[in-house]
């Protein structure tokens, strides 16, 4: 098997660079009705026919709710420094805002075990599983949901105490706002571009309110936000395609970052698409733009775009490029470009790569999974992070997505992103070659760590 190769002077090999693996509650936990967990918008979305491939649901997922002890041992054996997980809001809070002790105990025990194993915890508060009862009152289109999120952040940070090293308020608000409210392929399945931006604004407000609470209730913990981003390459050298690339980046990358770092939505976007500007109340942008300790970046691929009269930005498949099982182009250079670009455009807090990985057509054969493409993907993307750091970007960590195969949203269980293979019938876990490669790499790092 190949080895991960980085220059010996690389910052990725220094003791303060964090390596981890990541998951999210709805994608791995299963047990959707256990111990008083309330329904979430994803339970509801899965139940509507034709929304999720093969009619898949949050059951069984990886049954992590019942198998967490073995899973944490598996994480320890990989030799990672940190584990990124998310809390299921509907598991820990009752409809009237009280703590659900059983749900909270699950996370307390899990976090305690991580601490025993000296693994730092990166906890995301919202990775898309909004309680359905809040959706019934308008979900993210209702400004009040941002305040309910603040209550939830307060409950979690009080209950979990000093167990958590780092909090992320939200994961990928672009995905939950746009795929959930404009494109309609994610919960709650709406298709209105203007309302999608309003939902996005309320999510950013929730982030800001959540930050205020975390600073009070968990002053020792780091706190920030996780965004999905990718550079856009123009499909041709034509002026309008180059403009489309800028619009695409404003729409996805900057629309969620600029409010947090600079307290305003990107002008390019508000000028070109004023009809999409959300309703912003006095004081909102101040709440949204509080200092964060880090920004998490989830990177998978780039976009290749041209101008389109109706949609403004149209996506194209990359020609003759290597793609993953999702059809996403493998483009590590995009990660370096993205990080270097952001660094030249903003005064950034430290960055963490909070997700990076690929879906593979993985098969279990004689107790092994030879996911050679994922091994190469890992090597090339770590190299890309290294190159960005060499060019002056302050990146402090890297989390592989994902620890194990899991429920991939609208694609159900058909897409496998894990470094660990899950047999969903037997729930057997098998380390793929990429997990072995990652573990070998982590063990080879200098002993001074
Ligand atoms: O599985 C998702 C994850 O929940 C959020 N980021 C992208 C991953 C792959 O699509």
- What confidence tens digit (pLDDT) does each residue in 402-431 have? 999 999 999 999 999 999 999 999 999 999
Name residues whose C-beta falls within 8 Å of residue 171's C-beta, 6 or more positions apart in sequence. 24, 86, 124, 126, 127, 128, 226, 298, 354
Tokens encoding 371: 């996911």
Distance (Å, rounded) from C-alpha 102 to C-alpha 36?
Answer: 8
Ligand 1 atom closest to 128 (CA): 4
Rounded Cα–Cα distance for residues 355 and 401 (Å): 5
Token output for 364: 């279990």
Atom of ligand 1 nearest to the CA of 127: 4
From 159, 249, 258, 355, the catalytic residue: 355
Q: Is 22 in the pocket of ligand 1 (CB under 6 A)?
A: no
**CATH class in words for 11-444:** alpha beta
**Cα-to-centroid distance, 408 and ligand 1 (Å):** 7
Residue to mutate (ligand 1; options 187, 252, 408, 412; most atoms within 8 A of CB): 408
Q: Is the CB of 371 under 6 A from ligand 1?
A: no
Q: How far is the CA of 58 from the centre of ligand 1 (A)?
A: 15
Residue 295 reports pLDDT greater than 70: yes
Query: Of ligand 1's atoms, which has the minimum distance to the CA of residue 326?
Result: 10
β-bridge partners, 226:
171, 296
The per-residue pLDDT of the chain, averaged, comes to 97
Ligand 1 contact, 359 CB (< 6 A):
no
422 touches 407 (CB < 8 A):
no
Q: Label the pairing between strands 232-234 and 222-228.
A: unpaired
pLDDT score recorded for residue 2: 80
In the residue annotation, 355 being an active-site residue is answered as: yes
Q: Whose CA is nearest to atom 1 of ligand 1?
A: 408
How confident is the model over 134-155, as a mean pLDDT? 99
The predicted model gives 210-223 an average pLDDT of: 98
pLDDT over 80 (residue 448): no
Ligand 1 touching residue 408 (CB < 6 A):
yes
More confident site: 447 or 136:
136
* Rounded CA separation 27/39 (Å): 14
Which of 29, 159, 172, 387 is the catalytic position? 172
Q: Confirm whether 172 is a catalytic residue.
A: yes
What per-residue confidence (pLDDT) applies to 1?
A: 57
Angle at 40 between CA 36 and CA 44, to 5 degrees: 120
Residue ranges covered by each domain of the chain: 11-444
Q: How far is the CA of 299 from the centre of ligand 1 (A)?
A: 10
* Best probe residue, ligand 1, of 298, 410, 414 (max atoms within 8 Å of C-beta): 298
Determine the pLDDT at residue 12. Answer: 98
Q: Which of 53, 354, 401 to mutate to test the pocket of ligand 1 (most atoms within 8 A of CB)?
A: 401
For the entire predicted model, the pTM comes to 0.98
pLDDT at residue 52 tops 60: yes
pLDDT of residue 446: 79
CB 20 within 8 A of CB 400: yes
Nearest Cα neighbor of 255 from 243, 268, 244 is 268
């Amino acid at each position: 098997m190949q080895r991960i190769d980085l220059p010996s002077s690389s910052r990725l090999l220094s003791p303060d660079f964090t390596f981890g693996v990541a998951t999210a509650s709805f994608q791995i936990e299963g047990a959707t009705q256990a111990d008083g967990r309330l329904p979430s918008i994803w339970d509801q979305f899965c139940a509507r026919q034709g929304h999720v491939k093969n009619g898949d649901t949050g059951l069984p997922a990886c049954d992590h709710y019942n198998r967490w002890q073995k899973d944490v041992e598996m994480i320890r054996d990989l030799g990672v420094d940190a584990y990124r997980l998310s809390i299921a809001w509907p598991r820990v809070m009752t409809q009237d805002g009280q703590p659900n002790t059983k749900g909270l105990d699950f996370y307390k025990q899990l976090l305690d075990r991580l601490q025993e194993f000296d693994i730092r915890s990166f906890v995301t508060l919202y990775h898309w599983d909004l309680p359905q009862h809040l959706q019934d009152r308008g979900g993210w289109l209702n400004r009040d949901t941002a305040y309910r999120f603040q209550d939830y952040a307060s409950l979690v940070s009080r209950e979990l105490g000093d167990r958590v090293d780092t909090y992320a308020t939200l994961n990928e608000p672009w995905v939950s706002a746009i795929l959930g409210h404009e494109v309609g392929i994610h919960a709650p399945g709406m298709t209105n571009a203007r309302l999608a931006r309003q939902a996005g604004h309320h999510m950013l407000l929730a982030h800001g309110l959540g930050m205020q609470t975390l600073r009070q209730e968990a002053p020792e913990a780091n706190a920030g936000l996780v965004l999905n981003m990718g550079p856009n390459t123009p499909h041709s050298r034509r002026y309008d395609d180059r403009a489309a690339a800028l619009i695409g980046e404003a729409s996805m990358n900057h629309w969620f970052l600029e409010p947090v770092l600079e307290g305003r939505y990107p002008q390019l976007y508000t000028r070109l698409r004023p009809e999409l500007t959300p309703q912003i109340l006095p004081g909102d942008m101040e709440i949204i733009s509080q200092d964060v300790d880090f920004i998490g970046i989830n990177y998978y691929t780039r976009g290749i775009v041209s101008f389109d009269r109706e949609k403004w930005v149209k996506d194209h498949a990359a020609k003759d490029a290597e793609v993953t099982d999702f059809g996403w182009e493998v483009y590590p250079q995009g990660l370096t470009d993205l990080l270097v670009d952001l660094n030249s455009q903003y005064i950034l807090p430290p960055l963490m790569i909070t997700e990076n990985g690929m879906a593979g057509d993985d098969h279990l054969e004689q107790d092994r999974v030879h996911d050679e493409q994922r091994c190469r993907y890992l090597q090339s993307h770590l190299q890309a992070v290294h190159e960005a750091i060499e060019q002056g970007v302050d990146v402090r960590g890297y989390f592989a997505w994902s620890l194990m195969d899991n429920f991939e949203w609208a694609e159900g269980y058909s897409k496998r992103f894990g470094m660990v293979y899950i047999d969903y019938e037997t729930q057997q876990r098998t380390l793929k070659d990429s997990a072995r490669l990652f573990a070998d790499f982590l063990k080879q790092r200098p002993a001074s760590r």
